[in-house]
Structure 1
Amino acid sequence: MKRIDCLGEICPYPMLLLQKEYDALCSGESVLLVTDHHCTLSAVGVYCDAQGFRYSPNEVIPGVWEITITAKQ
């Protein structure tokens, strides 16, 4: 699983990094995006819905989320 560390980064930077992993996601690899910017949660959701990816956000500590993104099979 690829990990994208976006702690301290604000949108659109996390989304740009996620979009760079499009080919990896399409080939079946999972991506873990770590963020502390709450707007990234909704942006990832919109992107994943549009691309047909599954995403699962998990607030690991208050204000920090790990979002697992995978291709739908």
Structure 2
Amino acid sequence: MEQYRLEIWGEMCPIPLIKAQKKLKTMAIGDMLIMETEHSCTSQGIVVWAKKNKYMIEETEIDNGIWHLELTKTHT
């Protein structure tokens, strides 16, 4: 399993989601994409999209207003 980090600080949806979708295409099943954001709407948007598309995702608010996302590729 590989871990990848995606820089999405200061970006609002749909840009972070588009970046995540593009990166997922290059990843193998079981790989993890790690993202952090200071925008709750970005975090929520990615979580909703991931669940809808049957990806594993963990969202943690690691500090007041800072969200850490771990998105695991589960299928092609």
TM-score normalised by L of structure 2: 0.81
TM-score normalised by L of structure 1: 0.84
Task: State the identity %.
Answer: 25
For the residue of structure 2 that corresponds to 1:68, the secondary structure is: strand
Asked if the contact 1:52/1:71 (under 8 Å) is kept, the reply is no
Distance change (3 Å), C-alpha of 1:54 and 1:31:
same
Following superposition, the deviation at residue 31 of structure 1 comes to: 0.4
- Note the alpha carbon deviations across 1:3-57, whole angstroms, 9 max, x for none: 1121111111111111112221x52210001111110122112211222101111
Q: Structure 2: any 5+ residue segments left out of the alignment?
A: none
More helix by share: 1
Aligned length: 72
In the alignment, does 2:61 pair up with 1:59?
A: yes
Name the amino acid aligned to 1:42: Q
For the residue of structure 2 that corresponds to 1:21, the secondary structure is: helix
Name the amino acid aligned to 1:37: H
Distance in structure 2 (CA, Å) of the matches to 1:45 and 1:65: 11
Counterpart among 2, 8, 12 of residue 14 in structure 2:
12
